[in-house]
Amino acid sequence: MLRDRTLRLQYGSRMEAVCVLGTQISADVYGAAPAGAVSFSVKHTAGVQVEVVTDDQSQVASANGGKQWPLDHGTILKLSMNKASTEANDNKVTVNYYDENGGPPIDQAGVFLTGIGISLDVDADRDGVVEKNNPRKGTWTWGPDGQGAILLVNCDKDNPFISGLDCDDEKIFSKEDASMDLLRVRGEGSPTKLHSWRECATGKSHFSKHSFSPTPFFLLDPFFGQRYIHVLGRRKLYHVVKYTGGSAELEFFVEGLRFPDDTFPGLVSINISLLESLTEGIPRAPIFTDTVVFRVAPWIMTPNTLAPVNVFVCSVKDNYLFLKEVKSLVSKASCDLKVCFGYVNRGDRWMQDEIEFGYIHAPHKCFPVVLDSPRDGGLKEFPIKELLGPDFGYVTREPLFEVVTSLDSFGNLEVSPPVTVNGKAYPLGRILIGSSFPTSAGRRMTKVVRDFLYAQQVQSPVELYSDWLTVGHVDEFVTFVPLPDKKQFRMLMASTSACYKLFREKQKEGHGEATMFKGYSGTDTKRVTINKVLSNEVMVQENQYVQRCIDWNRDILKKELGLTEKDIIDLPALFKIDKMGKAMAYFPNMVNMIVLSRDLGIPKPFGPIIEGDCCLEAHVRSLLEPLGLMCSFIDDISSYHKMLGEVHCGTNVHREPFSFKWWHVIP
């Protein structure tokens, strides 16, 4: 922000200058002195404050000019005004120069001043109100005591007659567009024919003078009442407004065009400059600049601990019974069920893999934004056609050259509840993504998606090892459930060790011949009992390997989420290894559940039946229901499990946002 300017006085003449309220003009007294001058005095009108600065010492000059100061090298006057002028040149400062004889002045220099107030204003203190000339508006800092304005990406679609997002064009039809951020230019003072305002917009990202600016916003100027015209953006980097004087206020609306990513850190600055032209034909020069800084609001994921709003599921030809059970679960949780029918899903049942729900938030507005995965299956058009609309945004990241794998599906993208790790708080939780083993070249989520997730800053991602799985998703071995205690959640993990321990206990109790998969006629396996499972050495060895992979992730999660063993609940699971050496669930994987507050939709495991009950279901109930959770076991074995997915894979939940303000985070 340009606050001070230098004015070169000339003896024998009176200059004219504009003094912007809140700034100082430095006038060179020594350089303007006539030959033979050894001292000077200063006389000024009441509307001007004058300081005489000599050798870093400052004294206030009285208005009547009674005192004389020695004329030393480097002596300057600092001029300021705190009230706007009512007419041009209504204040003045006169410098009288004296020779060594001490008689009357040998010459004079002076300046006529016009006081003008100008400020570029935003909601810098983040209370939803655009305050006047906040002294902290030109910087952006994190934390509860931070400052700086917040800019939303206008990624929803308010006009049903346009094909893309609101931010894809340069048209705005309503002042009430929820994604717009208000910016005001305020001015006061006497009109002067030689001055104008110039707004300049810059995004703090990489660009050259030979290319269009990648500035991630543009401004809108009210025109004829409720109509708006585009005045700044990618193809126009400045806009000139004539300064007419008096008390004036112009409203502009700022629109975010892109989220933070690896090439754009999210900071945007806007400058306003007061330009002065000395004479016709000479370019105008800036005499004052004011600056405000925005940060583009990040995309934020919502963990299982937040309340559900809508549950989404696909209707396909073979999942009628599954849909019926999900509907029953949703009714218990008092949220809404949204069914995506075949004409939209085109046979794609994997709702979790296609999208991830999140939101963006500013002091004046919060709305959901769906992140579309690059998998682009049959559900490719679903988020655009069924979700995008007024106050419901959309964002995606598509790789240009990388190969999209199963790890790019969003069953491989989860987020923990809020945690504190070694004293550092993560009040919005931490993103979890599956990847390859650190020392091997395997499947990874594409770089463009990972870069996007890391760039949001407020949910610092943790990369886990999931490439050991056939599908390779983190939701195959970990999830979280809400609890009303101090910790507020428990982490659930798939555990082959827990399954073998349970089966051995049941064997010792005399239930070794208890049969699995009863009631499921579609299984292509022979009669499977506890004894057969425990005696299958190949399966034992495979599941020992699986447990080592899970334990690797367990250790990472304990370290990165600040957890202890008492925060973790092990759910029995068994896996088998495919021909490629990857693991898939042997029976429906119970950790791959849908969490709707205290109501859990758990894949029905079809475990060994003992005294009429599935011992796996009974064991899970004994772990979770004493904590206040309600377990509903959903049969997904034919419609999802056989295709290497479960309940969580086939559903998706739009949840309430955090009440916590993301700008209070300290990354």
Instruction: Report which residue type is found at 295.
Output: R
What count of other Cβ atoms lies within 10 Å of the Cβ of residue 142?
Answer: 17
Of the candidates 263, 261, 202, 211, the one whose C-alpha atom is nearest the C-alpha of residue 233 is: 202
* Sign of the torsion formed by the C-alpha atoms of 387, 388, 391 and 393: positive
CA distance linking residue 648 with residue 594, whole number of Å: 5
Alpha helices in 376-525 (DSSP H): 382, 447-455, 496-508
Helix pair 615-624, 496-508: axis angle to 10 deg: 120
Task: Report the amino acid identity of residue 9.
Answer: L
HSE of 402 in the Cβ direction (CA atoms, 13 Å)?
Answer: 18
Residue type, 10: Q
Spacing of C-alpha 43 from chain mean position: 55
Residue 287 CA to residue 195 CA, distance in Å, equals 10
> Residue 50: exposed, middle, or buried by beta-carbon count in 10 A (0-12, 13-18, 19+)?
buried
In order of 143, 338, 378, 590, 659, the CA distances from 123 in angstroms are 16, 37, 43, 47, 20
Give the integer Cα–Cα distance in Å for 373 and 8. Answer: 61
Please provide the DSSP assignment of 288-332 as one string. EEEEEEEEEPPPEE--TTSPEEEEEEE--TT-HHHHHHHHHHHHH
Which residue type does 444 have?
R
3-state secondary structure of 239: strand
How distant, in Å, are the alpha carbons of 152, 183, 549, 663 from that of 146?
18, 19, 42, 8
With residue 559 as reference, give the H or E element that holds it: helix 537-561
The Cα–Cα gap between 42 and 159 comes to 63
CA-based nearest residue to 305, from 566, 484, 476, 556: 484
User: DSSP assignment, residue 403?
Assistant: P
Q: What are the two backbone dihedrals, phi and then psi, of residue 643, each rounded to the nearest 5 degrees?
A: -105, 20
Rounded to 5°, the CA angle 117-118-123 comes to 125
Give the Cβ contact number of residue 134 at 10 Å. Answer: 18
* Active site amino acids: 353, 473, 475, 649
Please state, as a whole number, how many other Cβ atoms lie within 10 Å of the Cβ of residue 229: 13
The residue among 115, 148, 154, 119 whose CA lies nearest residue 133 is 119
**H, E, C per residue of 597-633:** CCEEEEECCCCCEECCEEHHHHHHHHHHHHHCCEEEE
Q: How far apart are CA 66 and CA 54, in angstroms?
A: 18
